[in-house]
Amino acid sequence: MTLLELNAKKAELVQTILNDIDSEEVLNELSQMVKKLTAPKYPCMHSIEELRSSAADALQAYKKGDGKHFTTQEEMRKRHTS
């Protein structure tokens, strides 16, 4: 789709909103939908359960002394400070 076609579709949508929607409730719902659809999408989204499981696995590896699977705070500071 070209930029010109995209802008024409946007204008058509705006015109439809201006002409056909005369309900505040519908307008509010449409606004929420637009916000949801245009919100930034993060590449990695985990559920609470996945995060807890990962944290439990990391803690268990740390307690076993399995040092190749974790990085200390000191090591991270050395890597990421100027």
Task: For residue range 18-59, list pLDDT tens digits in order.
Answer: 999 899 999 999 999 999 898 887 777 788 999 999 889 888
Residues 34, 8, single domain; the answer is yes
Give residue 65's region: left, alpha or beta (phi > 0; psi -120 to 50): left
Judging by beta carbons within 10 Å of its beta carbon (0-12, 13-18, 19+), is residue 76 exposed, middle or buried? exposed
Residue-number span of the structural domain to which 34 is assigned: 3-38
Residues 33 and 59 in one domain: no
Residues 34, 57, single domain; the answer is: no
Residue 43 lies in a domain: no
Task: With respect to residue 72, please indicate whether it lies within any of the assigned structural domains.
Answer: yes
> Does residue 31 share a domain with residue 7?
yes
In a domain, 31, yes or no: yes
Q: What whole-number distance in Å separates Cα of residue 15 and Cα of residue 17?
A: 5
Predicted structure pTM score = 0.44
| pLDDT value of residue 19 | 92
Query: How many domains, in total, are found in the chain?
Result: 2
pLDDT at 67 > cutoff 70: no
pLDDT bin (cut points 50, 70, 90) of residue 69 is: low
Are the C-beta atoms of residues 70 and 58 closer than 8 Å to each other?
yes
